Copies of this chain bind each other. A is one copy, B any other.
Amino acid sequence: MSETLVIAIDAMGGDNAPEAVIEGVARVAKKDKSVFFFLFGDEAKIKKLADANRLPDDRYKIHPTTDVIKGDAKPSIAVRSGRESSMWKAIMSVRNGYAKAIVSAGNTGALMAMSKICLGTLSGIDRPAIAAVLPSAAGPIVALDLGANAECNSQNLIEFSIMGHVLHHVLFQTEKPSIGLLNIGSEETKGRDEIREAASVLKGLEGKINFVGFVEGNDICAGKSNVIVTDGFSGNVALKTIEGTAKFITSMMKKTVKHSLFASIGFLIAKPALRQLKKKMDPRMYNGAMFLGLNGISVKSHGGADSFAFACAIESAIRMARNDLCNKIKNELKHVMDVDVPDISGEE
């Protein structure tokens, strides 16, 4: 049996906290017997929910906290005045080595800022990034940055490439994940300076990293590369555009069915197969944005996550922790970058 792994949970963050959070914890506890949970938040509420969800007493410890970071709180203010919050305390338990990862469905900006302050940035990383797993025609892909850095230089993009490479390997055991740089054309002359610069450096790392060149917006869902690397602005736009397009198409189909008797009957017959498709595409399975480049594992669940989605975010955190993601990133940075990559940014 594997060693017990401690995961810290911000039980009070998110729209459906603490109910969906504790139910999510119970789901994971049932499947994975070697995880122990630190639950930060309202003791009485958590205890009651743990019992209701049959989370055994010996699988968790409640760390009572009184303060909760509000969903609309400014990160800068949350960081200063939120030191008694469930979020801060949960992150601190990772910093102090008591837990191996923190999962929260709370305020994204606050979680990012607090994680950065408490855990610190990995040596060799200029800027941490937000990564997520997305479905594609060729299987799950990793995309980053999804919003931490609205602007990036070539050095950032190179570091994101290495972190994405390690993450895809850790999550899906891919031997040499292919890395694509998001651009607006596949020709070498296209796009912004920093992207072309990053591409020329990544090309030079052949053998160490499987860089496949530029990819475009339509290549994301096609799964042209295992990892999609881009700045936080374009990444965020792309991610939300995928969500919006999927929602639009689904709602158009629903409208069609509603307005046609034949379509209604047809869809009723097709329902079992469609349900399977829906299951396969379920966005809840891809829940969990991962902050990469920190000295510790911090995962952000969607604020509106239900217990199933929250459990998926915990499971990502577990996989990252069990596979020692942070050290692997550190080692890979050393291995990939030691020879020929100067610090281009010139910044600290």
Residues in B with CB closer than 8 Å to A273 are 256-257, 259-260, 262-263, 266
Candidates B150, B184, B218; contact of A247 at CB < 8 Å: B218
Are B270 and A266 within 8 A (Cβ)?
A: yes
A268 within 8 A of B: yes
**Given A222-B247, A249-B249, CB of A237 within 8 Å of CB of B240:** no
A274 within 8 A of B: yes
**Given A217-B236, A252-B281, CB of A245 within 8 Å of CB of B247:** no
A142 within 8 A of B: no
Residues in B with CB closer than 8 Å to A253 are 277
A246 within 8 A of B: yes
Candidates B137, B147, B150, B257; contact of A192 at CB < 8 Å: B150
- Chain B residue nearest to A277 (CB atoms) is B256
A220 within 8 A of B: yes
Are B256 and A263 within 8 A (Cβ)?
A: no
Bound Cα distance A133, B91 (Å): 46
Are B270 and A233 within 8 A (Cβ)?
A: no
Residues in B with CB closer than 8 Å to A191 are 150, 233
A234 within 8 A of B: yes
**Given A233-B191, A270-B267, A270-B270, CB of A244 within 8 Å of CB of B260:** no
Residues in B with CB closer than 8 Å to A260 are 270, 272-273, 276
A282 within 8 A of B: no
A177 within 8 A of B: no
A123 within 8 A of B: no
Bound Cα distance A143, B243 (Å): 18
Residues of chain A from 252 to 298 with CB closer than 8 A to chain B in the complex: 252-253, 256-257, 259-260, 262-263, 265-274, 276-277, 280-281
Bound Cα distance A296, B121 (Å): 53
Bound Cα distance A273, B260 (Å): 7
Are B245 and A246 within 8 A (Cβ)?
A: yes
- Chain B residue nearest to A182 (CB atoms) is B237
A216 within 8 A of B: yes
Contact with B along A229-251 (1 / 0, CB 8 A): 01011101111111111111101
Are A257 and B233 within 8 A (Cβ)?
A: no
A15 within 8 A of B: no
Residues in B with CB closer than 8 Å to A238 are 217, 237-238, 241
**Which residue among A217, A243, A247, A274 has the maximum number of chain B CB atoms within 10 Å of its CB?**
A217
Are A240 and B266 within 8 A (Cβ)?
A: no
Candidates B236, B267, B281; contact of A266 at CB < 8 Å: B267
Are B251 and A137 within 8 A (Cβ)?
A: yes
Bound Cα distance A137, B262 (Å): 23
Contacts from A to B (Cβ < 8 Å): 136-137, 147, 150-151, 182, 184-185, 190-192, 216-222, 230, 232-234, 236-249, 251-253, 256-257, 259-260, 262-263, 265-274, 276-277, 280-281
Q: Which 5 A-B pairs have the closest CB atoms?
A: A266-B270, A217-B240, A218-B244, A266-B269, A263-B273
